[in-house]
Structure 1
Amino acid sequence: MPVPDFVLALRERIGHDLLWLPAVTAVVLREDGRVLLARRADNGNWGLVSGIVEPGEQPAATAVRECLEETGVVAVVEDLVQVGAGEPVQYPNGDRCQFLDHTFRCRWVSGQARVADDESLEVGWYDPQDTPPLPPHQRARLEAALSFTGRTRFVS
C-alpha cells in the first residue's frame, strides 16, 4: 500500500510512534443491493473500500476519491452511518497507527468495478449475505450501513 507523503513526512519526525489518522470506509451499494468489495494487495483480506483522509480533505470527498482510485467506480455519499476508533495497528516495518474511521453509506453512480490501482488484487459486487470472509471490523461497518436508521452511530 502506498503511504501518503504527509504520513512519510510525519514518520521522519516521530519514527514508529503511534500516529492518529482520520480514515474513511465506503459501503457502496448498487440498486440491486449488492455491495462493492476489494481484496487488499497488502494482506489478501477482502473488505470495503477505505483510505486515509488527506490534510484539508473532507472525509466524504475521501470516500468518493478512494472508490474511483481503487475500483474505477463513481459513487456518491448518502449518509454518515458510523464514527469510531479502530484498534491500534502495527505494520511489518514497525510503524504504529490508529484510525478514526468515518463509515459512509454510498450509492453507485457509474463505472465497472475493476482493479484500478496496486492496492487491490480483486474487486467485485457481492450480495451482503454472501460475501467472502470479512475481518470483524469490516463486517461491523457493512452491517451498520445496511441497518442504517438515519441516525449516525458513535462507537463506544
Structure 2
Amino acid sequence: MATPEFIVRLREKIGHDPLWLVGVTAYVEDADGRVLLGRRADTGEWALVYGINEPGEEPAVTVVREVREETGVDVEPRALVRVRASRHLTVYANGDQTQYLDLMFSCRLAEGGCAEPRVADDESLEVGWFAPDALPEPLAASTRERLGALAAWREAGSAEALFSLDA
C-alpha cells in the first residue's frame, strides 16, 4: 500500500503533524443487491472500497479509480450520499497523523465494464459480492457506520441525495 507521492512530498515538509485529506468511499451494489467489499491487508477487516483523492482529481473520478484499482470492477457513481468530516485523528504506525473528509458515493456497475471482482492491488486480501444480510466478519466499524448512513439516506428517499450525478 504505497503512500501517494503528493503525501510523501507533504510529509517531507510537515513531518508527522496532522494532515487534512479528502477521501472517497464507494457503496457498490450489483443487480442482485449484493454489496462489493474488500478484506483489507492492513487490518484484515472487510470494508467498503475507499481511498484518497489526488490533488485536482474530481471525487467522482477518484471513486471510479479506487474501485478499479482495488477490485478490478468498473463502476459509475450515481449519487453523493454523504459528506462527513472525521473528528477522529488517525495516527499511523510511523507516527503520521491524518484526519479525513469522506465523500461517500452510491455506485452502480458500469455498462459493459468488468463486474467480476478480483484482488487487483496489495491493499486487499480478498474481494467479493455479499448479500446485505450476510456480510462477512470481521466487518470494519467504519463500514458498519457507513452502511447505517446509507440506510438512513435510502429511508429518506434517493431524491434526497446530497448531489445527483444524473443531471
TM-score range, shorter chain: over 0.9
Structure 1 residue 88: deviation in Å? 1.3
Match of 1:136 in 2: 141
Write out aligned runs for 1:11-90 (5 A).
11-86=11-86, 87-90=88-91
Query: Any stretches of 5+ residues in structure 1 without a counterpart?
Result: none
Bigger radius of gyration: 2
TM (norm. structure 2) is 0.87
Once superposed, which parts of structure 1, at least 4 consecutive aligned residues long, lie more than 6 Å away?
Answer: none
Aligned residue type for 2:61: A
Aligned residue type for 1:122: E
Q: In structure 2, what is the Cα distance between the partners aligned to 1:14 and 1:125?
A: 40
Q: In structure 2, what is the Cα distance between the partners aligned to 1:124 and 1:135?
A: 15
Query: Any stretches of 5+ residues in structure 2 without a counterpart?
Result: 163-167
> Which of 104, 122, 125 is residue 121 of structure 1 equivalent to?
125
Structure 1 residue 2: deviation in Å? 1.1
Q: In structure 1, what is the Cα distance between the partners aligned to 2:70 and 2:10?
A: 24
**Cα root mean square deviation, aligned:** 1.3
Aligned residue type for 1:139: R
Structure 1 residue 55: deviation in Å? 0.2
Structure with greater proportional strand content: 1
CA deviations on 1:50-75 (whole Å, 9 max, x unpaired) are 00000000111100000111100000
Say how many residue pairs are matched: 153
Tell me the percent identity. 54
